[in-house]
Chains A and B, each alone.
Chain A
Amino acid sequence: MIPLPTPTPLSEPHWQGCREGELRVQKCRECATHLFIPQPACTNCLSQDLEWVLSSGRGRIYSFTVVHRPQQVSFEVPYAVGIIEMEEGFMMLSNIVECPVDDVAIGMEVEVEFRKMSDEITLPYFRPSA
């Protein structure tokens, strides 16, 4: 099994959302910035008035790399890692799946695909948009 994240009190709402098939992130009520990775205050205006909201789960590949030497043996190579620029403006890391690695490209439209990895962790992967 690949190494799975360990949720924290701060991040637990995100991981709960993933278990329920929803991509949830924080949004600042003061300046409307969407935040990811979870933070205790808004990194744009420092407000602590944050709420958890639903993301559309859609974005575009901002950058990517195709990995041929695995981080550790549990990862099957080659695999594509992407930075996805989400519709709401935040950035997240993930693997691009259901796409030959040679076809992954900056600008490609992608959407979230949840995969259950354990009882606790469902991971948000990204596949090319239909």
Chain B
Amino acid sequence: MSTASRNPFHDVVIVGAYNTEQAKMLPDRTEADLLIEAIRGALDNAGMDKSQIDGVNTSTWKTGWSSREGAYLLGGRPSWTGSEHGISGVLEAAAAIATGQCESVVMASAQCGEYVDRSATVTWTRPSNEFVECWGLYTAAEFALIAQRHMHLYGTKPEALAEVASAIRMNGARNPEAVMYGREVTPQDVLDSRMVASPYHLLDCCINSEGGAGIVMTTAERARDLDVEPIYVLGGTGDKQGMSYVTAPVWDRYGDVGARAARIAFEQCGLTPDDVDVLELYDPFSFEVIRQLEAYGFCKLGEGGDFVMDGRLRIDGSHPVATNGGLMSFSHAGVTQLLQKPIAAVQQLRGEVPEVLKVPDARVAITSNGGAGALFVDLMMLGKDKP
């Protein structure tokens, strides 16, 4: 149906990408302090100065920073502001740059200090919603309700889920910047870990952590003056089917969320799943990765469980997933991890990753945020080569 032209983002590039320290807790930091470090780090990585910035998107979780506060902090001259998080915010900024509303955008996000009552699950997993909270639900259980239905319909096995979790966690284990650096996990380790919400064992679930991240985007023309490798925004969009964590996560309704977004993103850049070298898929829970492989067209519906076996998702496999360790083992800090998917892709495409985590000849990456349990997906393709 869509006749979207090639390269709709008209040479919008990411030129800076930066993560602060990520840790289970950063008791000596504040969100403002992490945010500022992320902004400065991203600008430095881009080789740009704040005087060159005319667009901003900033957010913190607990202290509730908005982009307008970020604009003020940067001296008031960033006049364009974005309001979306993660990939949605990157696409929002890309559209603003592509339409000439601004030229260079810094985007940053940070979280710390939110998780204090450790007897409960962290607050972002359990918003106080009328028809959900009283049943003891939280994100792991909501995503589990999606996984269980798929396992019932297609015979998907716990071993497939464990393979996904192990593959991703082994990347984090070998990434010095990851929260879970050094913590190797086999599929059997996943199956042996205590059950959280069936079928999800502890190690099928992402961590929670603290930290900040930032990126800088500009035009390819502006990037020519910079001594960095620009990464091109090839395409992307979002599927948002309803409110997260407010109503029952029904597989029949939401099981293919993101399929439309992927189809549009591939059409925008004239590529197919076979052209993708790196898959920075949102990995809040192991089955959600399997679900996305099916929904985005990497394999057929119901066949994702078999697809992930034989090491396909590992760094040296045909479909390397969450190469920095993902939400499972790199970091999950408020909404900062949404932005860390594009950052992981940029770093991988630039080869700015530990040797042992390098995907050979990586030229095209797919990135995603969201999930069926949350009723939304934002998706974006990035590339090393000018389209």
Interface residues of A (CB under 8 A from B): 2-8, 11, 37, 62-73, 75, 79, 81, 83, 91-95, 106, 121, 123
**C-alpha gap A56/B202 in the complex (Å):** 38
Cβ-neighbour of B197 out of A4, A65, A73, A92 (below 8 A): A65
Counting chain B residues whose Cβ lies within 8 A of the other chain, the interface size class is 35 or more
* A11 contact from B117, B128, B130, Cβ within 8 A: B130
- How many angstroms between the C-alpha atoms of A94 and B246 in the bound complex? 13
**Known interface pairs A68-B195, A71-B121. Does A63 touch B134 (Cβ–Cβ under 8 Å)?**
no
With the chains together, A75 CA to B138 CA distance in Å? 12
**Is there contact, CB below 8 Å, between A5 and B197?**
no
Are the C-beta atoms of B133 and A63 separated by less than 8 Å? no
Expressed in whole angstroms, the Cα–Cα distance for A5 and B63 within the complex equals 26
Chain A minimum-CB-distance residue to B242: A43
Instruction: Please give, as numbers and ranges, the residues of chain B lying within 8 Å of A93 by CB-CB distance.
Output: 131-132, 135, 137, 247-248
CA gap between A2 and B126 in the complex, in Å: 13
Across the interface, do B250 and A4 meet the contact criterion of CB distance under 8 Å? no
Is there an interface contact between A70 and B134, defined as CB atoms closer than 8 Å?
no
CA distance A72 to B133 in the complex (A): 10
Q: A64-B145, A69-B196, A93-B248 are in contact. Are A81 and B136 (CB under 8 A)?
A: yes
B149 within 8 A of A: yes
Minimum Cβ distance to chain A for residue B208 (Å): 13
Contact A106 B148 (CB under 8 A): yes
CA distance A123 to B136 in the complex (A): 13
Residues of chain B contacted by A66 (CB below 8 angstroms): 195, 197-198
Given contacts A11-B130, A64-B145, A83-B249, are A72 and B137 in contact (CB under 8 A)?
no
Known: A3-B128, A92-B248. A72 touches B195 (CB 8 A): no
Additional A-B contact list (16), CB under 8 Å, known A65-B145, A91-B248: A2-B136, A5-B130, A7-B130, A62-B250, A63-B251, A67-B136, A69-B194, A71-B121, A72-B120, A72-B126, A73-B119, A79-B136, A91-B250, A92-B131, A93-B135, A106-B148
- Which of chain B's residues has its CB closest to A79's CB? B136
| Candidate in A8, A11, A81 with the most chain B CB atoms within 10 angstroms | A81
Sample (26) of A-B pairs whose CB atoms are under 8 Å apart: A3-B128, A3-B134, A5-B133, A6-B130, A8-B130, A63-B146, A65-B148, A65-B199, A65-B200, A67-B141, A69-B202, A70-B120, A70-B136, A71-B120, A71-B126, A71-B137, A72-B119, A72-B121, A73-B120, A81-B135, A81-B137, A81-B141, A83-B248, A92-B131, A92-B248, A121-B134
A106 and B149 in contact, given A73-B120, A79-B136, A93-B135 (Cβ under 8 angstroms) = yes
Q: How far is the CA of A66 from the CA of B140 in the complex (A)?
A: 11
Within 8 A of A (CB), among B101-144: 117, 119-121, 126, 128, 130-138, 140-141, 144
Across the interface, which residues of A come within 8 angstroms of B224, CB to CB?
A: none
A65 partner residues in chain B, CB cutoff 8 A: 141, 144-145, 148, 197-200
Residue of A nearest to B194 (CB): A68
* Closest CB pairs A-B (n = 4): A72-B120, A65-B144, A75-B136, A63-B149
Which residues from chain A contact B146 at a C-beta distance below 8 Å? 63
Distance A106 CA – B196 CA, assembled complex (angstroms): 19
- Write out the residue numbers on chain A whose beta carbons fall within 8 Å of the beta carbon of B251: 63
Q: Nearest chain A CB to B150's CB is how many angstroms away? A: 9
- Chain B residues near A72 (CB, 8 Å)? 117, 119-121, 126
CA distance A106 to B120 in the complex (A): 28
Residues on B with C-beta less than 8 A from A73 are: 119-120
Residues of A with C-beta under 8 A to B138: 71
Which residues of chain B (181-202) have a CB below 8 Å from chain A? 194-200, 202
List chain A residues, Cβ under 8 A from B120: 70-73
